[in-house]
Amino acid sequence: MRAFQVTVFDAPPQLVDIPTPNPAPGEVALRIAACGINFADLLMAQGKYQDTPKPPFTLGMEVCGTVIALGEGVTDPAVGTRVSVFGGQGGMAEVGVFPAHLCRPVPDAMPDTVAAGFQVAYGTSHLALTRRARLKSGETLLVLGAAGGVGLTAVEIGKALGATVIAVARGADKLAVARAKGADHLIDSDAGELKAQLKSLAGRIGGVDVVYDPVGGDAFKAALSVCNREARVVVIGFASGDVPQVPANLLLVKNIDLIGFYWGGYLTFDPQALTDSLADVMRMYADGHLTPHISEVLPLDRAQDGMDLIARRASTGKVVVTP
């Protein structure tokens, strides 16, 4: 079968032919229909992600597919069931093996491409905003990188939770996508100094209660400047490539909470939190409150193009590969 693999960290991933895997005890094999690409895949390809396996390995953290074989001891999900799964790796291939207990049945009305990119993006934003940031209706939420894979879901979920949402993104086209998902205020990070733009807006509408930051760098520092007292700043990632140093005196003076959030970490210490959160966002999708945005659907032989789109921050919403 074909798979998009990291063979060594100092060379680009390659599309290779490898033996079709068989499920081990506790696993299922999936005929993969679609795989969502995440920023973490880029870090993993460079050996910089916190859960990077040793090469060779197949990229692709989350997939949708159909069960074609069961490992020893597995009775559910049954062969023929369409499921989505966050497996951490192995998704950019024609067939993959994954732990059976992580597989979640996909509603008939949810397309493969949506299901493949749903868990990480929506799961991250929902659990970060509800459990960690404790976002309440009527508060103001500032989303950095608001047109990206997780940022756009934070805009959408923030609105669904009753917040006033400020979306920061690069350029009019990306801001239009954020507006379509419910953003109340739009700031173009390419249109001038971000800190000055945020302060101008805060002067009109008030400060920010929650910051959702998958970007880091100067954007993080600018966001801190408009935080209200007892604001919560949730650190999702560092797409800018710059891990900022925190001025702790500002946290102290304003009683600001700085909160780290790693969605995949809950698999090891509180998987029930993920299960409950994903059940909530699935209900929100079924009720029509969430409408996932996919900007690119690419075949497996163009997986590198999808990675490049994310690296250049040229995509909006999700990029999906269909083996």
Cβ atoms of residues 4 and 287 within 8 Å: no
Question: What's the rounded Cα separation, in Å, for the pair 25 and 70?
Answer: 8
Q: What is the pLDDT of residue 194?
A: 97
Beta strands in the chain (DSSP E): 2-6, 14-17, 27-37, 57-58, 62-70, 82-86, 95-99, 104-105, 140-143, 164-169, 185-188, 208-213, 227-235, 257-260, 294-299, 318-322
Q: What is the pLDDT of residue 298?
A: 98
- Which of 198, 196, 202 is closest to 213 using CA atoms? 198
With a cut of 50, list the residues of the chain below it in pLDDT: none
Cβ atoms of residues 59 and 16 within 8 Å: no
**Stated pTM of the model:** 0.90
Q: What is the pLDDT of residue 10?
A: 81
Distance of alpha carbon 118 from its chain centroid, rounded? Answer: 8
DSSP category for residue 111: -
Question: What's the rounded Cα separation, in Å, for the pair 184 and 205?
Answer: 11
Q: Considering the domain 122-263 in this protein, what is its CATH number?
A: 3.90.180.10
Domain ranges of the chain: 2-118+292-322, 122-263
Cβ atoms of residues 228 and 208 within 8 Å: yes
- Which of 3, 9, 93, 90 is closest to 44 using CA atoms? 9
Q: Residue 137: exposed, middle, or buried by beta-carbon count in 10 A (0-12, 13-18, 19+)?
A: exposed
pLDDT by residue (tens digit) across 70-110? Answer: 999 999 999 999 999 999 999 999 999 999 999 999 999 99
**The pair of three-digit structure tokens given for residue 216, joined into one six-digit string:** 């880091």
Whole-angstrom CA distances from 245 to 136, 250, 305 are 28, 12, 32
Q: What is the pLDDT of residue 50?
A: 84
Class of CATH domain 2-118+292-322: alpha beta
Q: What is the pLDDT of residue 51?
A: 85
Residue 227's identity, in one-letter code, is C
Q: What is the pLDDT of residue 35?
A: 98
Q: What is the pLDDT of residue 267?
A: 86
Domain pair 2-118+292-322 / 122-263, same fold: yes
Cβ atoms of residues 147 and 174 within 8 Å: yes
